[in-house]
Amino acid sequence: MVSRGTTQQSSAPFNRRIVLDVIRRQGRISRREIVELVSLSPQTVANITNELQTIGLIVARRIRGAKARGQPPIAFELNPNAGNSLGISLEPGRISAGLVNLVGEILERREVAIDTHDQRVVLASVVALIRELRRRPAAAERLWGIGVALPGPLVKTDISFVGPTTLEGWTDLAVLDELRDLTRLQVFYSVDSVAAALGETLFGVARSLDNFFYMHFGVGLGGTLVVNRSAYRGASGNATEIGHIPAVPGGKSCYCGNSGCLERYLSLQSLAEALGVSEAPQRDALIVAQLERNDDPALKGWCREAAERLRDAVCVIENMLDPATIVIGGSAPKLLVERLVALAQPLHHSVRGGVAAPTVRILLSERQEDSSILGAAVLPIYDLLSPRFEVLQQERRADADVAGLMGQRAASRAGRL
Ligand SMILES: [Zn+2]
């Protein structure tokens, strides 16, 4: 599905976004094809593509093999060098950071193992990582801002910042305002599953999907429902924290105060407990090594049970929400997720059974371990590349010329997406 433009004069920024969105989705597209897809006049499309070229967001390339009679046919595509974004993924015990360009390529990546309990230590480390990434020449070009992805729930609740799958010990996110002041860059943040889901929408396997469910398999387990390419928030902004859905009556006790929560069976934390290893770098290396050998009874037993929980979770999500697909991403090793999905077959009967092929009911992120960084990096540019109309009424980002042209205004604090 492609969004339609509108002829109202006040909607000029919206039409620019519509055209930019079509170009991003199609990868490469001629002006005539844009006109057909967005229902705008050829003149309006010509004006918009000229503007987008002038500000450097798109580039025109001659279509190869086209016959050169009259005007040479050209196609437009996003300009990968139109600017970069910094993505920071905060997980318990680990900070991952990347410099990402406008077409979702990670140009530079860094990772540090760190005790994340102390906000001051985390802030210092993030600032140092950003300094390193900004040394890369590409970062000297337009920098759209910093996106930070963190485990939820972020809006204060009984279960925020509680337990080893969260940023335990934190009480608020004022540190992100400090990050903005120290780097003098716009800072946007979001729950990791929301960020990664938006990353899949812009650059991943969900690029052509408007509605899907995203499951974030990392140290903990999170989820995000994407509706019309926006994350569904719920009443207080904490929707779809599937990690704490009761899955096993009388099951393992959970840090949230309940027992049998899904995350206690389906998360890296749960696997690490089963294998008796806790620290992040050793944990992931050990998991991959043991998966490859596939001879550890503890690992095999955990995988069997986790796959059962995954099969049930897929059924609940599908019957509840009827999503086009369930995308699984997160920092878990891809080999592990592939193993669990294979063991979870055949899937339960559900409203998606007989409608979607088994291979479509679950899709794995192609970025898997990088999906958090990519998702975080998407936060500063999501509004730019997404034609969601409500975005135009919000006060947020700052990049002067382009922001003005695209209908955006400056923000004074770290912004939540
Ligand atoms: Zn729980």
How many Å lie between the centroid of ligand 1 and the Cα of residue 348?
Answer: 24
Residue 349: is it exposed, middle or buried by C-beta count within 10 angstroms (0-12/13-18/19+)? Answer: exposed
Residue 135: is it exposed, middle or buried by C-beta count within 10 angstroms (0-12/13-18/19+)? Answer: exposed
How many Å lie between the centroid of ligand 1 and the Cα of residue 293?
Answer: 31
How many Å lie between the centroid of ligand 1 and the Cα of residue 197?
Answer: 22
> 235-239, 278-282, 321-325: lowest mean pLDDT where?
278-282
Place of tokens 């859905």: 245
pLDDT of amino acid 172: 87
How many Å lie between the centroid of ligand 1 and the Cα of residue 405?
Answer: 45
Local confidence band at 280 (pLDDT 50, 70, 90 cut-offs): low
Q: What DSSP line would sit under 17-37, residue for residue?
A: HHHHHHHHHHSSEEHHHHHHH
By 3-state DSSP, what share of the chain in percent is helix, strand and coil, each rounded to 5? 40, 20, 40
Local confidence band at 404 (pLDDT 50, 70, 90 cut-offs): low
Place of tokens 């650059």: 203
How many Å lie between the centroid of ligand 1 and the Cα of residue 157?
Answer: 13
How many Å lie between the centroid of ligand 1 and the Cα of residue 302?
Answer: 18
**Contact of 86 with 133, CB cutoff 8 Å:** yes
Task: Give all strands of the β-sheet with 29-30 in edge-to-edge order.
Answer: 29-30, 74-78, 58-62
How many Å lie between the centroid of ligand 1 and the Cα of residue 259?
Answer: 6
Which structural domains are found in the chain, ordered by start?
A: 9-78 (1.10.10.10), 84-196+371-385+409-416 (3.30.420.40), 205-369 (3.30.420.40)
How many Å lie between the centroid of ligand 1 and the Cα of residue 251?
Answer: 11
Instruction: Enter the pTM of the model.
Output: 0.87
How many Å lie between the centroid of ligand 1 and the Cα of residue 241?
Answer: 10
How many Å lie between the centroid of ligand 1 and the Cα of residue 244?
Answer: 4
Question: Which of these, 297, 244, 291, lies nearest to 267 by C-alpha position?
Answer: 244
Q: Is it true that the peptide bond before 73 is cis, omega within 30 degrees of 0? A: no
How many Å lie between the centroid of ligand 1 and the Cα of residue 346?
Answer: 27
Place of tokens 């958090």: 372
Mean pLDDT of 178-199: 94
**Contact of 339 with 298, CB cutoff 8 Å:** no
Q: What are 143-159's pLDDT values in tens digits?
A: 999 999 999 888 778 88
pLDDT of amino acid 295: 86
**Contact of 312 with 305, CB cutoff 8 Å:** no
How many Å lie between the centroid of ligand 1 and the Cα of residue 262?
Answer: 7
How many Å lie between the centroid of ligand 1 and the Cα of residue 263?
Answer: 7
pLDDT of amino acid 339: 95
Average pLDDT, the chain: 87
* 10: CB partners within 8 A, 6+ apart: none
**Contact of 378 with 387, CB cutoff 8 Å:** no
Tell me the residue length of the chain.
417
Percent with pLDDT over 90 in the chain: 59
How many Å lie between the centroid of ligand 1 and the Cα of residue 350?
Answer: 25
Q: Give the sign of the dihedral formed by CA 188, CA 159, CA 210, CA 265.
A: positive
Q: How far is CA 166 from CA 170, 179, 191, 362, in A?
A: 9, 20, 11, 26
Q: What are 4-53's pLDDT values in tens digits?
A: 666 554 567 788 888 998 998 888 999 999 999 998 999 999 999 999 99
How many Å lie between the centroid of ligand 1 and the Cα of residue 39?
Answer: 48
Task: Give all strands of the β-sheet with 415-416 in edge-to-edge order.
Answer: 106-113, 94-101, 84-91, 143-150, 187-191, 415-416
pLDDT of amino acid 371: 87
How many Å lie between the centroid of ligand 1 and the Cα of residue 370?
Answer: 26
Residue 210: is it exposed, middle or buried by C-beta count within 10 angstroms (0-12/13-18/19+)? Answer: middle
How many Å lie between the centroid of ligand 1 and the Cα of residue 119?
Answer: 24
pLDDT of amino acid 413: 72
Q: What DSSP line would sit under 344-381, residue for residue?
A: TPSPPP-TTBTTB-HHHHEEE-SSGGGHHHHHHHHHHH
How many Å lie between the centroid of ligand 1 and the Cα of residue 372?
Answer: 22
pLDDT of amino acid 284: 79
Q: Look at 404 and 339; give whichever has higher pLDDT.
A: 339
Q: What are 310-362's pLDDT values in tens digits?
A: 999 999 999 999 999 999 999 899 999 999 999 999 999 999 988 888 789 99
How many Å lie between the centroid of ligand 1 and the Cα of residue 192?
Answer: 17
pLDDT of amino acid 163: 86
Residue 56: is it exposed, middle or buried by C-beta count within 10 angstroms (0-12/13-18/19+)? Answer: middle
Percent with pLDDT over 70 in the chain: 88
How many Å lie between the centroid of ligand 1 and the Cα of residue 396?
Answer: 34
Q: How many CB atoms lie within 10 A of CB 207?
A: 13
Whether the per-residue pLDDT at 248 is higher than 80: the answer is yes
How many Å lie between the centroid of ligand 1 and the Cα of residue 184?
Answer: 37
Local confidence band at 398 (pLDDT 50, 70, 90 cut-offs): very low
Local confidence band at 257 (pLDDT 50, 70, 90 cut-offs): very high
